[in-house]
Structure formats: structure tokens, C-alpha cells
DNA sequence: TATTGGCACTCAGACAGCCCGAGTGCTAAG
DNA sequence: CTTAGCACTCGGGCTGTCTGAGTGCCAATA
């Protein structure tokens, strides 16, 4: 159901040219375009009448459509698809754009910061909504658990996984904890969980309360819960996004409210992105109704993979109206993904 | 420039009733309302003509305005203001709403979680954009700094302030660090900074690199930078928000795009909220053009204080179109603020 | 003096008719 | 296969009309 390469009647090369012109023009002007304009504005060596014939053919193939009798044509989802699949010239990023990416990516060893920098850059680059999926910890293992006492009853539980992702969670033990208590808890916790995968850890965790001194039961339970939550939070996907304002600006899409809602809820987007396949060059694209969500029938979603050593691959994505600048955005999203891979690799 | 209580000609009580009716009706229907409807729908014992006279008076006082000759009237900002200032019946929260607040607020000792729960609840309760300001650390002091080794070169720096707020930042030391190294760094760092306020800490920090062994200079510099950043991040205000989608749904405000932008950028909102005063009962309100931002000329902002022991007071806020249900929202925002105070107090 | 009914007036919005121009499909000729 | 020509279509902009909700004012009334 994903990215379906175009099959069917093969398209004569001039028809393809015409389609290309239509798509480009529509992307730029967002207005239906007719044979005459097309013939003059683009340097086909033929008359408008000939273009009309071509257009009739393209319409038969359902690559373009006329919003109403006797008005210009607009690409269909299928039209965009063919356009993209046969995209040969890839728009290069401008020097300024490259700079923007690099400057956003510098410094910071902190995963959160890197990702949020990346997603903002991408949103600015494309003027669309940008999303980045957190690297899943899938097969990651627990490397260490630290307990940092904050005050008499509160403790910060820090969980480090072997791909160096760090999470923390505050715990209220509801009882006083001495230094020795903390040490005991830490030791038991680590000997129990370290080197185990997240999946295993979650089962082992149930033994934890049993292994600690009787007077620490309360605290152990609280800590155990915190760890559980963190592990869970990790198996759960998570995305961060930026540029939602662009949605409102760009496109008078009907269901803007619902769309913003869905973005805020995250869950729809998480599933969508997770399920999207990418082709050989690491880019995936769903155009309009290709994703089966009514909600997104007027939008396209573009994803690319990035890698963080030790994690499964994760994705960056761009969401915008079907009439978006595919050529440009594809390079942008790919560039950000590759910078991300590079930055996280070091 | 803030919340200006209404002064000037004192308003006869029936005029006030009429104003009240107009505001309530407009809040509900969002359509201009005329004398006749007003006279019938609300049980004034008088005829439409009399109401018209009242309305003429109210218009003279600039409390209502007619969008065009011969159409119903709509409250002005000043009208809303008077309406709110003379608001006597306070809408109570429904049982369901109280429940919603309580259920969202349960558990979790984690500041981030509590706040994000609160802001989401508030957004749902009001169907508007909700915001919550992080408790500023103003005069807070540093309580402890922990260094948690993550791998050979990376270290997690955890900063605990005396109001038990915890921040952490990953640092890449670009050099191998032994256990002893870490211990040394930790010791020096703590002896230097603990018990100092954030403001002082930032000056003391410059001495740090000088006090550690020569071979740790690299690492010390990186850590010092991280601490600096965290301290800074704290003096800087920060807000989280929820319910932006409601904006799109509710109000076909002209500059939706810009508004969403501003929300995403945060900075405008941070200043606005920070500068808003609250009156005796802990609530502050700016209606329409009362805030001097063109951007927000069609929106009202409602804030209430909450307290976290050891921090300066911070605020929760609701942002929506000027025609919002003030009576209800005021109680909602106050309720959330007070639950927040309660939850964070324990 | 405050209230009321009556009346003439205004205007936004809905509706219908009109024209224009961009665009189409078709056909016959090159 | 390409082209010019032609008749046809239809959305969008413009105009005019009508209607209903609403107004302001005034004279009559309680």
C-alpha cells in the first residue's frame, strides 16, 4: 500500500514533459493551468492545440484532472507520483541552506537538543511541518542505573542504555533514605538489570522488591515503577515536531483544526511514520490519498531514515500539502537525515 | 497599562444588565445581537424600543459597537472589561470538570510531567490554548551537582537546585575519564558551587578550570560550559503549551499563521505572561487591545498564579478570542492553578 | 419623566442574471 | 502528427434587486 512505482501504459516522453510542466507550474502558482499558457510559458516547440491533445491523453491516464469543465488542469495524486518517480534533476541545496543546516547541527552532545535543532531546521528549510522520530531503543540494553539523592525522600533515577541514551525520572520514596539505603538499592538494581535488554529488564524488574531489605519496600516499589515507566516510554515511539504554523500559512486545507489536533495527539503521526517504507535511496513518500487517512487526503508525507549507532534506524519527515515542492524537499529531508546520522555517529 | 478597573460615568444598573445580556449572547452565538432579540430572549420587562435607548447609551460609552450601520451590536474590549470587572456570579466547575483536573494531577513527582498534565487539562477544559510558565529559579541555590559517567568520554551532568528542581545535560569531554577523574571533578565542582545562588554560581564557575588537575582541563571546560548553560536556561523563562489546535477550530482570526508562529517561538508569550499583573484574587486578564500587541488585538489572555515552594510564583494562562467565556475560564484557570500549588507543595 | 408603538430608513447577504475570457473538444486541412 | 479554426462551456466578477433584521427618531402615553 506504500510508495507504488508507476506501472501501466508507458508514457511517451513528450507527455511526460507536459506533465512535468503542469506539476511545476501548479506547485509554483497553485492555479489550474491551461494549454495556451503552457505552450507559451514553457518552450515546447508546438502549438497549444497539440498540448491540448497531450493533455487529453494525460487526463485519460488520470494523471491530471480538470476541476471543472473548461478550466485548466491540476495534477492528481497519481500525477504527482509519476512526476516524483521520474524526477531526474534533483534540486541542490543552496549555499545558504547548507549553512543553515550546519550551524544548527553544531555542538551539543545531547540527543534531545540535536533532534529538536534538526526538526526546526527542516521546518524552516521546507516551510512545512517537520517531524523527527526518536530512535527506538528496540534491542538496546541497560548499561547502568544511577540513583541521585535529591532530598530526604526524593531520588532521581537515571537510566543509561548502551547506546548512551539517558533518561531520568524523579521518584518520591515516601520514606527517609540514608546513604546506605541508596547504595543498597543502586547495587541491587544494577546487578539485576544491567546488560539486559529492555524487554528482559521489564520482567526481571518484578523480582526487585523481593531482593531489598524489608524497610526499603516502599522506596523499592516507587523506584521499580519509575524504571518500568522509563522502559515503557522507550518502547513507545515518540516524535517531536516543528513548524505547525506553516500549515496554517500555506494551505487553506479544509480540516486544519483536525489536522493540528492529530499533530498534537501524535499517535496518528507516529503510526503513519513508523509504517512508511523507504526505497533504495532512503526516502519514502506518500502522496495524498496514498495514505489511507481521510485526514491526510490533501497532504503528502515525506520521510527519510537516519541512523544512531546502536539504535534501530529512525525517521525524519516533512508533512505538507500535496502540491509541495517535492524536488526541493526531498533533498532537504535527505540532507537533514544525513547530517543527523553524521552528528549522532561521533 | 494592565487590568484597568473601569472608571468614568457610573453605569445605571439596567444598562449593565443589558450589557451583560449582550456579552453573554455574543459569547454563545458569536453573532451581533439586536434590540428585539434581546428584549424577547432575555426577560427584561420592557420593549425593544427601550432596549434600543439603552443600547444607544452603551454605544456612547463605547461599551458596544455596531459592525455596520443597522446591524446588531457587539461588545468592545471596554465592554468585555466592564463585564468581567462586574462579574458577580462565578461559574462553578461541573463535577466532571473537577474530576478531570484531579485525575490529571494524580501521582508523578516529576515537575515536567505535572506541568504538562496541567496544561493539557486546562486546554481541554477551556477549549483554548493553555500555557504554563516554568517556576523561575530566581533566588534558588545550587544544592548538588552529580556527574554520572555514561561511557569513556561522555558524562551526564546533573544539577540539583534547593527547590528540588533537577536538570541534566550531556557532556562530551573529548578525553578518557577515569573514576578518580570523575570524583575529582565532582568534588571540586561541588565545593565551589554548592549553596550559592545561580547568579553567584555563574561567576564562581570561571574559577573552576583553574582548580582541577592539568590533564583534566579539556573535560573541565566542557563541564563548565554545560553548567553555565543550565544555569542560564533557568534564568531564562520557559513555557509549555497545549491546545493550539483549538485556535484554528474556534476562531477564524485573520492572522492565525502569525499567531501560531508566535506561540511556537515562545518569546512573545513569555514576555507577555511574565509582565502581566494579577489582582487580589490572583487572576489577571488582558482583553483585546489592552495588551499592546497588534498580533493579539483579537485575543484575550487570562493568567493565574501558582506557587512552588522555594520558587518565585509562576503562572498558568489561557489564550483565546476576546469573545471567550470569561466566567467559566476564570474559574478553570484558577482551579488548575490551585491544584498545581497543592500538588507541588507536597 | 420614562416607556412605548410606529415609521421611515439603512444595509449586509442571498439570489439571479449577465458578460467575459480562459479553456476545452472536435474537425478538417496541411 | 500537427495545426488552425470554431463552437461550446463554465467559473468568477459584476450588477441589480429584494428581504429581513436592525436602527434612530418622534409623538403619544402612563
Ranking A84-88, B85-89, B252-256 by mean pLDDT, the lowest is B252-256
For residues A126 and A119, the answer to whether their CB atoms sit within 8 Å is no
For residues B252 and B30, the answer to whether their CB atoms sit within 8 Å is no
Give the DSSP H or E segment for A317.
strand A314-321
Q: Does residue B234 register a pLDDT over 80?
A: no
For residues A231 and A193, the answer to whether their CB atoms sit within 8 Å is no
The predicted structure's pLDDT at residue B137: 66
Q: Supply the mean pLDDT for chain B.
A: 87
Three-class SS state of A45 = coil
Going by C-beta distance under 8 Å and a sequence separation of 6 or more, which residues neighbour residue A346? none
Q: Does residue A96 register a pLDDT over 60?
A: yes
| DSSP structure string for A97-140 | HHHHHHHHHSS---HHHHHHHHHHHHHHHHTSEEEEEPPP-TT-
Rounded Cα gap, residues B9 and A334, in angstroms? 66
For residue A252, name the pLDDT band (cuts at 50, 70, 90): low
Q: Does residue A109 register a pLDDT over 80?
A: no
The predicted structure's pLDDT at residue A108: 66
The predicted structure's pLDDT at residue B9: 55
- What would the mean pLDDT of B187-209 be, rounded to a whole number? 90
HEC secondary structure over chain B? CCCCCCCCCCCCHHHHHHHHHHHHHHHHHCCCECHHHHHHHCCCCCCHHHHHHHHHHHHHCCCEECCCCCCCEEECHHHHHHHHHCCCCCCCCCHHHHHHHHHHHCCCCCHHHHHHHHHHHHHHHHCCEEEEECCCCCCCEEEEEEEEECCCCEEEEEEEECCCCEEEEEEECCCCCCHHHHHHHHHHHHHHHCCCEHHHHHHHHHHHHHHCCHHHHHHHHHHHHHHHHHHHHHHCCCEEEECHHHHHHHCCCCCHHHHHHHHHHCHHHHHHHHHCCCCCCCEEEECHHHCCCHHHCCEEEEEEEECCCCCCCEEEEEEEECCCCHHHHHHHHHHHHHHHHHHHHC
Rounded Cα gap, residues A99 and A335, in angstroms? 12
For residue B112, name the pLDDT band (cuts at 50, 70, 90): confident
Chain A residues close to B154, C-beta within 8 Å: 109, 164
B105 touches chain A (CB under 8 A): no
Chain B residues close to A242, C-beta within 8 Å: 264
Three-class SS state of A251 = coil
Question: C-alpha cell of A55?
Answer: 493533455
Going by C-beta distance under 8 Å and a sequence separation of 6 or more, which residues neighbour residue B269? B131, B239, B241, B262, B263, B319
B52: Cβ under 7 Å from strand D? Answer: yes
Chain A residues close to B260, C-beta within 8 Å: 244-245, 248
The full length of chain B comes to 346
CA B17 to chain centre: 32
Q: Among residues B272, B268, B341, which one has the least CA distance to residue B307?
A: B341
A152 touches chain B (CB under 8 A): no
B46: Cβ under 7 Å from strand C? Answer: yes
- The predicted-structure confidence for B249-265, as pLDDT tens digits, reads as follows 876 666 888 899 999 88
Three-class SS state of A80 = helix
Q: Which of residues 22-51 of A touch strand D (CB under 7 A)?
A: 45-47, 49-50
The predicted structure's pLDDT at residue B304: 97
Q: Does residue A251 register a pLDDT over 70?
A: no
Rounded Cα gap, residues B318 and B242, in angstroms? 10
The predicted structure's pLDDT at residue B92: 87
Q: Among residues B236, B238, B323, B333, which one has the least CA distance to residue B278?
A: B333
A293 touches chain B (CB under 8 A): no
- What would the mean pLDDT of A227-253 be, rounded to a whole number? 83
Rounded Cα gap, residues A189 and A221, in angstroms? 12
The predicted structure's pLDDT at residue B293: 93
For residues A72 and A39, the answer to whether their CB atoms sit within 8 Å is no
CB pairs under 8 A between A and B: 85
- The predicted-structure confidence for A66-79, as pLDDT tens digits, reads as follows 988 888 999 999 99
Q: Does residue B174 register a pLDDT over 90?
A: no
The full length of chain A comes to 346
The predicted structure's pLDDT at residue B156: 87
The predicted structure's pLDDT at residue B150: 81
For B278: left if phi > 0, alpha if psi spans -120 to 50, otherwise beta; the answer is beta
What is the radius of gyration, based on Cα positions, of chain B?
Answer: 26
Amino acid at each position: 500500500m506504500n510508495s507504488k512505482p508507476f506501472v501501466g501504459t508507458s508514457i511517451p516522453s513528450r507527455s511526460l514533459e507536459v506533465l512535468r510542466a503542469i506539476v511545476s507550474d501548479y506547485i509554483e502558482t497553485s492555479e489550474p493551468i491551461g494549454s495556451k499558457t503552457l505552450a507559451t510559458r514553457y518552450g515546447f516547440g508546438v502549438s497549444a492545440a497539440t498540448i491540448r491533445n497531450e493533455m487529453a491523453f494525460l487526463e485519460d491516464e488520470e494523471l491530471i484532472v480538470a476541476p471543472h469543465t473548461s478550466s485548466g488542469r491540476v495534477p492528481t495524486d497519481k500525477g504527482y507520483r509519476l512526476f516524483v518517480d521520474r524526477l531526474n534533476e534533483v534540486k541542490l541545496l543552496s549555499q545558504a541552506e547548507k549553512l543553515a543546516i550546519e550551524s544548527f547541527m553544531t555542538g551539543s552532545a545531547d540527543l534531545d537538543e540535536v533532534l529538536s535543532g534538526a526538526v526546526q531546521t527542516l521546518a524552516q528549510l521546507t516551510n512545512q511541518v517537520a517531524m523527527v522520530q526518536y530512535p527506538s531503543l528496540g534491542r538496546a540494553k541497560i548499561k547502568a542505573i544511577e540513583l541521585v539523592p535529591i532530598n530526604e525522600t526524593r531520588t532521581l533515577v537515571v537510566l543509561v542504555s548502551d547506546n548512551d541514551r539517558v533518561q531520568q525520572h524523579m521518584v518520591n520514596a515516601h520514606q527517609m533514605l540514608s546513604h546506605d539505603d541508596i547504595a543498597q538499592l543502586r547495587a541491587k538494581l544494577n546487578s539485576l538489570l544491567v546488560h539486559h535488554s529492555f524487554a528482559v529488564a521489564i520482567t526481571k524488574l518484578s523480582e526487585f522488591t523481593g531482593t531489598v531489605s524489608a524497610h526499603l519496600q516502599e522506596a523499592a516499589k516507587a523506584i521499580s515503577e519509575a524504571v518500568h515507566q522509563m522502559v515503557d516510554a522507550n518502547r513507545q515511539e515518540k516524535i517531536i515536531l516543528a513548524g505547525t504554523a506553516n500549515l496554517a500559512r500555506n494551505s487553506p486545507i479544509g480540516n486544519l483544526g483536525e489536522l493540528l489536533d492529530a499533530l498534537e495527539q501524535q499517535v496518528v503521526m507516529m503510526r503513519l511514520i513508523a509504517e512508511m517504507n523507504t526505497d533504495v535511496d532512503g526516502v519514502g513518500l506518500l502522496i495524498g490519498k496514498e495514505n489511507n487517512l481521510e485526514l491526510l487526503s490533501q497532504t503528502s508525507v515525506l520521510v527519510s531514515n537516519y541512523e544512531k549507532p546502536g539504535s534501530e534506524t529512525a525517521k525524519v519527515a516533512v508533512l505538507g500539502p500535496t502540491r509541495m515542492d517535492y524536488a526541493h524537499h526531498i533533498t532537504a529531508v535527505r540532507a537533514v537525515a544525513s547530517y543527523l546520522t553524521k552528528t549522532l555517529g561521533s
